[in-house]
Amino acid sequence: MKIEILCTGDEILTGKTVNTNYSHIARRLADTGLDVHWGTTVGDDRASLLQAFRQAGDRADAVIVNGGLGPTVDDLSQEVAAEACGVPLVLSDYWMERMTQSYARRGRVMPANNKKQAMLPANAEFIDNPIGTACGFAVTIGRARFLFTPGVPREMRRMLDEQVIPRLLALGGIRGVTKLKRFHTFGIGESRADEMLSGIEAFKQEGGIKLGFQAHYPQLETKLAVRGADEADLQRQLAPVEAEVRKRLGNFIIAEDEQTLEGVIMGKLREAGQTLSIVESFTGGNIAARLAPLVGAEAVFKRGVITREVSGETSPEDAAASAANLKAESGSSHALAVLMQLDEGADRPEFGATICIGIADDRGRVSRQARLIGGRDWVRVGAAELGLDCLRRHLLGLPVDERIDFERRDPPPSA
Amino acid sequence: MKIEILCTGDEILTGKTVNTNYSHIARRLADTGLDVHWGTTVGDDRASLLQAFRQAGDRADAVIVNGGLGPTVDDLSQEVAAEACGVPLVLSDYWMERMTQSYARRGRVMPANNKKQAMLPANAEFIDNPIGTACGFAVTIGRARFLFTPGVPREMRRMLDEQVIPRLLALGGIRGVTKLKRFHTFGIGESRADEMLSGIEAFKQEGGIKLGFQAHYPQLETKLAVRGADEADLQRQLAPVEAEVRKRLGNFIIAEDEQTLEGVIMGKLREAGQTLSIVESFTGGNIAARLAPLVGAEAVFKRGVITREVSGETSPEDAAASAANLKAESGSSHALAVLMQLDEGADRPEFGATICIGIADDRGRVSRQARLIGGRDWVRVGAAELGLDCLRRHLLGLPVDERIDFERRDPPPSA
């Protein structure tokens, strides 16, 4: 089955917005065993849209259209879809009612121009958008089924998983089931992970389990895409491979599937009835911001402190002492300190920092030091992850001082 | 002149790599007054490439092709270009010599498969790549001039500026210039902004100023795209419209063009030699994390506190008192408190919170209360923005209590 993605909108066409919707859609399709064959980007322009719909309708079996479903005059997807189908636009009373109610629930009156969002091609199949006012729909143009989704990422993502992908699988007559098993690691790069997993027999079999990686610094995602006749077949294929991957990637696995590093930490603390405080400097609230919003954090997260006062050099002992002080002050059972000493001078690819991490709990203190380089943002993001990973390792009884790939152990240039 | 960008490569097509080359090319063209009319993405697949070349050759005047010039078998751009032109590939002795010398200078022997990079369509115009082994070239397919660039970003970027854009400007016989003027607002939705700006005469003229919106909650971007004969003409067209937009959107404008809300606040504080501390609760460090990383924040940002202790109900007076306490404790000239009282129960679209904002400075205290709904994440993001916007308004002498679209003034369901 030939699937295309057609992205609309001047902000995407002009490069003002980087097209992450495209890459999200393409990756999600690949995860479920569907391949994207062609991508098109056009602006909020009637003639281009019509031509793009017609050409894609000639080439493809299915086309996911993203964007152009908003309430303003430059949102043209419904109008042009109707034109391509040779049908009029008709008002969906159902969607008008849904939008009106949605506004009413929030105590607001729906603006008049939102009516445009309920105008669908007369022949359209309705595709639900449970969290927005942009209504999805499907029509056939040429030989392809076109599925229309909104440009707002959270709406698109939900509709893609719940509405679009099931329709594509049905269209393609794809039976069997697929599963994507994911491992999230911190501290190993893609090539090293590839080496660590080399020679696993199951990856060599045609049509068996497909291994893939996706690096999004500072984490690496290792993906096992499996296709099977049914759930039992999936499990049978996956279980031994999963166990082998877990063994090989070992302590570097911070989370699996939908889990997150911060979620694992929060779960562990909550389970044990423990509480946490955090003091951080250059990470500027980013560590606390990973934990504080989590469900149940109210009972666990006691206090966060962001400090900019860096008094000369810092050491792992300083960090451990800061953690112990904060633990005492806040009354939390655990405290994490992530302090940093930044290189001098302007931002540059070699800009680095020495990161000192301290953890205090009822049994005492642990600490770790690491040097990261790669520019201010790179270092900030890496330091937040390293701090959280040390806490995870400590909570799980793993070594906190295992060397990571991003780390340099040579002294900073100023030393 | 109709210009297209055609990106090739499985990494881009499958979404594994986000296509930042596309957005870079499109933005650079826009900066020089050239508009991109269409974007295409295809994989390392002979049939797709040929079809893409032919269709773009029918639609466009010029096509920038990116990728597929490497030494490996999956790099197909030269071969398929030659096929589309109906000419053979011929070896460029000049490029072979350049590559050989480049390897020799680094004390290395050129691998045999690099020869492939010197094979160009017989009718090709050579386009220099001063920093890589992928040779650029141009051919005509259909009615369009195709300019081929490598996928390696730093090579593509240099060739784009030095080689490609000058050729495009010459092709289009283009004089004139364009500009994109942007306004960032907080507190008004896209439909209301559209209404607030309705009837501005300049938007109605064909080929004059084009109005567009881009919503990225909680902010809305209002864009004016202008084309003129020269810089003076641009200014003459834009000035009155810019002034009118500024008047109509008024206090809701938080920043313009490359400015950010946090940058405006930081600039204002720094300019006046003032300092800031922040106490926040449910936003969990997100407010501090917006300000603390900014260049120059070291001198302005004194202290951040993240607290989870919510002792029953909170009030604007509590928030103002918290800000005053933190101001006293930290010695900062200004303090911002953003405290919240969350609805009970699980996350849901109607989940809301009462947000209490307090600001303390040497002249006293101000405060504001607002109720936002829309789920935990939505409320958290909105509250952080509202807190920062109140601070901006206070620093600029604007009313801090102007009603925003996302706000409800009715009491929470539990009250």
Question: Who's near B244: CB < 8 A, 6+ residues apart?
Answer: B200
Tens-place pLDDT, residues B228-262: 888 898 889 899 999 999 999 999 999 999 899 99
pLDDT at residue B413, as a whole number:
55
Which tokens is A132 given? 């927005």
Query: Does ipTM exceed 0.95?
Result: no
pLDDT at residue A266, as a whole number:
97
Task: Report the DSSP beta bridge partners of residue B348.
Answer: none
CB contact under 8 A, A71 and B215: no
Question: Who's near B147: CB < 8 A, 6+ residues apart?
Answer: B62, B63, B64, B65, B127, B136, B138, B163, B164, B167, B168
Nearest CB among B16, B17, B39 relative to A40 is that of B39
A45 sits in which H/E element? none
Positions in chain B whose pLDDT score sits under 50: 414-415
CATH superfamily for domain B3-172: MoaB/Mog-like domain (3.40.980.10)
Which tokens is A274 given? 């423990």
pLDDT at residue A122, as a whole number:
97
Say how many C-beta atoms besides its own lie within 10 A of residue A318's C-beta: 17
Distance from CA of A397 to the nearest CA of B (A): 27
pLDDT at residue B205, as a whole number:
60
Q: Which of residues 275-334 of B touch A (CB under 8 A)?
A: 278, 282-289, 291-293, 297-298, 301-310
Nearest CB among B59, B288, B405 relative to A285 is that of B288
Q: Which of residues 233-252 of A touch B (CB under 8 A)?
A: none
CATH topology of domain B261-408: Maf protein (3.90.950)
| Domain segments of chain A as ranges | 3-171, 177-256, 261-408
Calpha distance B241→B202 (Å, rounded): 7
pLDDT at residue A151, as a whole number:
96
pLDDT at residue A313, as a whole number:
79
Residue B169 · residue B176 · CB < 8 Å: no
CATH topology of domain A3-171: Molybdenum Cofactor Biosythetic Enzyme; Chain A (3.40.980)
Say how many C-beta atoms besides its own lie within 10 A of residue B188's C-beta: 20
pLDDT at residue A310, as a whole number:
59
Which tokens is A2 given? 């030939």
Give the neighbor-by-neighbor strand order of the sheet with B125-127: A125-127, A136-141, A144-149, A62-66, A3-8, A36-42, B36-42, B3-8, B62-66, B144-149, B136-141, B125-127
pLDDT at residue A276, as a whole number:
97
Which tokens is A248 given? 């090989």
Question: Who's near A207: CB < 8 A, 6+ residues apart?
Answer: A227
Exposure string (b/e) for A114-141, b if CB count within 10 Å is 16 or more?
bebbbbbbebbeebebebbbbbbbbbeb
pLDDT at residue B309, as a whole number:
58
Task: Name the residue in chain A with its Cα closest to that of B193.
Answer: A72
- Interface A-B: count of C-beta contacts within 8 A: 219
Tens-place pLDDT, residues B65-92: 999 999 888 899 999 999 999 999 999 9
pLDDT at residue B415, as a whole number:
39
CA distances from A69 to A65, A94, B111 (A): 10, 17, 51
Helix axes B46-59, A46-59, angle to 10 degrees: 150
Positions in chain A whose pLDDT score sits under 50: 415
Calpha distance A406→A384 (Å, rounded): 13
CATH class of B177-256: alpha beta
